[in-house]
Structure 1
Amino acid sequence: MNDSTRSAHALIPSEESIAAYLGQVPEFFERHADLLAGVRLPSVHGHRAVSLQERQAEMLRDKIKGLEQRIMEMVRNSSENAAITQKIHRWNCDLASIGDARGLPHAVTEGLRAVFDVPQAAIRVWDVAPPFAGSLFTMGVSADVKAFASSLTMPFCGPNLGFEPTAWLQRVDDVQSLALLPLRDGPLSSPSPAFGMLVLGSPDPLRFDATMGTEFLTRIAEQASAALARMRPVAGARQLTSV
């Protein structure tokens, strides 16, 4: 490149300087409107060239389409959440209507299967009042499971890796994914020791995926815990006096 060529290139403004100038002098296009009319750009929907106005219209239509899809997704998620909330409410009302506390564990698991279409569900409760000791829902719980339940401050979801609570389910070989919900007094995230565990199993490996949200499962665990608190020693003693 000779000196004259270098000098010519040096006189050509950069794209940045042109953009800066146009940003500072917007009336430039008012004085030179014919430039905008003559601008031709490649279309995003083909290889043909379109005017600047057409290109802007295409971009605007694409933006509107994206917003419409986001709105539809928000409406769909809202409808799904409302349906789940209604199911939890109905299940909770069913638990509240149980008169004999001995029927609560069965009502919890059967309600989950019927209301939430959970293929399999099982429950174990420990440290119960004497009238409930020796019931099926108190058996087959090792010290390791109790310690594991107490260590959980949120539902565990993931593949079936042979966790001991899986054996509480009727069809163990069918379980590909599961959710383990600790039962304790107060919020699920509290440090209080667990007094039970609820296990949900599914043949679908993605039904209880490790990446899924656990907000509704947390609500289920806390509401089940509140209902089953009637079987705890103090509540159990009160119930005996009222029977």
Structure 2
Amino acid sequence: MTDAAMNPITEDDIANYLANTPDFFERHAQMLATVQLTSPHGNRAVSLQERQAEMLREKIKALEHRIMDMVRHGNENVIIADRLQRWARNLMLVRAPQDLPAAVVTELVAQFMVPQAAIKVWDVAQPYQGESFATGVSEDARTFASSLTQPYCGVNSGFEAVDWLVDQAMAMSVALLPLRSGDLRNPSRAFGMLVLASPDPQRFAAGMGTDFLERIAEFASASLSRLRDA
């Protein structure tokens, strides 16, 4: 038995030969015109050049879709940044510290179209300890808020914070934002918690990115720190 029979040439051998012999088609240019391939858009046969052109068109179309997605995401980010700026600006315009918690919630609902929101703040200065936003929070809820190193997003699992909402039955998904003084990436004990809720189970889905919510928590924490000063 010959060596060729014992070691038949494989498709990989052919592919490697052609890849390493770029002048093959220069010596056999007529082959390119005779090669026929099956079109992915039907059962008709097309030339190698036409198939290459189709592949290039498909790549161009994919790149166009990616560019459109980038433009759309860029526009969405601009809109979010504008809303965040308006929300922060309106908080800065609040003169009385005791009006800040209501302003945080009202402006969030208005600017970001959040169906429901509520807030509680504790360890506040003596003049504000009797306010509704500073009462009705158990020690368990405070401990839970301090245990969160980033906003929680997901289903309502019977959190006490959901009881702060007007319509608890419509809180199918929630976001719980701990409020802290200082840098949230170096967590300290929370002095409050903001709860956002939606009847849409996917609005605040588990696993979603929380970067934007962290910025919300940072702005709210900085603004509400005035309640801790007497």
Give me the TM-score of the superposition, normalised by structure 2. Answer: 0.96
Gaps of 5+ in 2: none
- Alignment partner of 1:94 out of 43, 67, 90: 90
Residue 17 of structure 2 corresponds to 21
In 1: Cα distance, 2:165 partner to 2:207 partner: 23
Aligned CA-pair RMSD: 1.4
Residue 211 of structure 2 corresponds to 215
In 2: Cα distance, 1:179 partner to 1:213 partner: 11
Residue 124 of structure 1 corresponds to 120
Cα drift, residue 24 of structure 1? 2.1
SS in structure 2 at match of 1:140: coil
In 1: Cα distance, 2:97 partner to 2:150 partner: 25
Deviation string 1:121-160 (CA, Å, 9 cap, x unpaired) is: 1000000001111100011100011001001111100011
Cα drift, residue 23 of structure 1? 2.0
Task: Tell me the amino acid that sits aligned with residue 168 of structure 1.
Answer: W
- Alignment partner of 2:54 out of 52, 55, 58: 58
Write out aligned runs for 1:1-243 (5 A). 9-10=5-6, 12-232=8-228, 236-237=229-230
Task: Tell me the amino acid that sits aligned with residue 83 of structure 2.
Answer: K
Aligned residues: 230
Cα drift, residue 174 of structure 1? 1.1
Contact 1:122 1:200 in 2 (8 A): yes
In 1: Cα distance, 2:112 partner to 2:187 partner: 28
Residue 241 of structure 1 corresponds to none
Gaps of 5+ in 1: 238-243
Residue 240 of structure 1 corresponds to none
Larger Rg: 1
Task: Tell me the amino acid that sits aligned with residue 227 of structure 2.
Answer: M
Contact 2:151 2:214 in 1 (8 A): yes
In 2: Cα distance, 1:190 partner to 1:44 partner: 55
Question: Please, which moves more after superposition, 64-73 or 87-96?
Answer: 64-73
Contact 1:40 1:52 in 2 (8 A): yes
Contact 1:182 1:188 in 2 (8 A): no
Cα drift, residue 9 of structure 1? 3.7
